[in-house]
């Protein structure tokens, strides 16, 4: 049974969801967070909805013994393809994603324009799903949404390439050029990996085009949901009496491949070093029985 002291679970295909963790740690510094990066099976952006849904279902099932008070799908692809099915599969869990908060922020950034041009860069699967298109048009029906698949960016980021890399600059220039040509008013970073390149993207677009970080908006959304549910650590009567609630929250990471590499690259997303992640074999995830016991993970 989840309580105010239960952890927030954040999951993604790899390192990108750590941008959401970073924003959560800023917004909710006393909360404990468990992060799962499915590094053996990334990228999700080129996979079918059925495959992505199965992968995320397995991860949530694995983490159920932690009794999470909230599950964050910190992956635009998984949010677009799997969120409704996951909510139906785990009705007892509050589960949220990154698309609705990002779309809402884009409309706010567009201001009073009734027909704003909003650009979205994302994975192939997220673009194909048209999830951002629907989410934006629910809020501003006359908006023009230019969605552009940018499949090279996630591999570049996961490979540890920085904004000084000529290949990164070339990829961004080619991806952003058609959006600039269309005269977009706002750009949404439709993948939680992309904030790593945010500063360079902002430089390329210029100060007149706001860039929406879906990771940051997602963290604000989670904070609001927990506050409304009375589940924020340090705010309930019981937690006020608990001195430990005043301490900074912990972060524990799980990965399905190469924990050493994950630990080495994580500071680029978080801004701080992390403890060694726990390695979870994909075979353990596949072998799980629905609603059955979760196998023990293997320390890195």
Active-site residue list: 75, 191
DSSP state of 32: -
Beta bridge partners of 35: 10, 253
SS (HEC) of 126-153? HHHHCHHHHHHHHHCCCCEEEEEECCCH
- 202: enclosing H helix or E strand: helix 198-205
Rounded CA-CA distance 285/287 in Å is 5
Beta strands 298-299 and 278-279, pairing class: antiparallel
Let me know: does 233 contact 241? Beta carbons within 8 Å: no
CA dist 276 to 59, 160, 300, Å? 19, 18, 7
Let me know: does 17 contact 236? Beta carbons within 8 Å: no
Per-residue b or e along 142-166, where b marks 16 or more CB atoms closer than 10 Å to that residue's CB: ebbbbbbbbbebbebbbeebeeeee
Rounded CA-CA distance 101/135 in Å is 9
Let me know: does 123 contact 76? Beta carbons within 8 Å: yes
Which of helix, strand or coil describes residue 155?
A: helix
Rounded CA-CA distance 180/184 in Å is 6
CB-count exposure of residue 115 (10 Å: 0-12, 13-18, 19+): exposed
């Amino acid at each position: 049974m989840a309580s105010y002291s239960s952890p927030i679970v954040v999951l993604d295909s790899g390192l990108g969801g750590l941008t959401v963790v970073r924003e959560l740690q800023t917004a909710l510094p006393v909360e404990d967070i468990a992060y799962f990066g499915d590094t053996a099976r990334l990228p999700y952006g080129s996979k079918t909805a059925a495959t992505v849904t199965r992968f995320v279902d397995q991860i949530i099932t694995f983490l159920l013994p932690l009794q999470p008070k909230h599950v964050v799908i910190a992956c635009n692809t998984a949010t677009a393809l799997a969120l409704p099915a996951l909510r139906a599969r785990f009705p007892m869990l509050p589960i949220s994603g990154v698309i609705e908060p990002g779309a809402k922020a884009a409309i706010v950034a567009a201001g009073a324009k009734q027909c704003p041009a909003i650009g979205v860069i994302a994975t192939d699967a997220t673009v194909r799903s048209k999830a951002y298109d629907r989410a934006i048009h629910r809020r501003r029906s006359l908006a023009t949404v230019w969605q552009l698949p940018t499949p090279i960016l996630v591999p570049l980021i996961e490979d540890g390439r920085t904004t000084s890399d000529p290949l990164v600059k070339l990829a961004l220039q080619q991806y952003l050029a058609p959006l600039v040509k269309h005269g977009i008013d706002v750009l949404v970073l439709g993948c939680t990996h992309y904030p790593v390149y945010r500063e360079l993207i902002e430089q390329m677009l210029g100060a007149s085009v706001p860039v929406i970080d879906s990771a940051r908006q997602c963290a604000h959304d989670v904070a609001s949901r927990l506050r409304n549910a009375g589940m924020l650590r340090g705010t309930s009567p019981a937690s006020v009496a608990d001195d430990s609630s005043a301490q900074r929250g912990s972060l524990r990471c799980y990965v399905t491949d190469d924990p050493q590499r994950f630990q080495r690259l994580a500071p680029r997303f978080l801004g701080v070093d992390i403890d060694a992640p726990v390695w979870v074999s994909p075979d353990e995830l596949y072998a799980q029985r629905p609603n059955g016991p979760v196998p023990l993970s293997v320390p890195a």
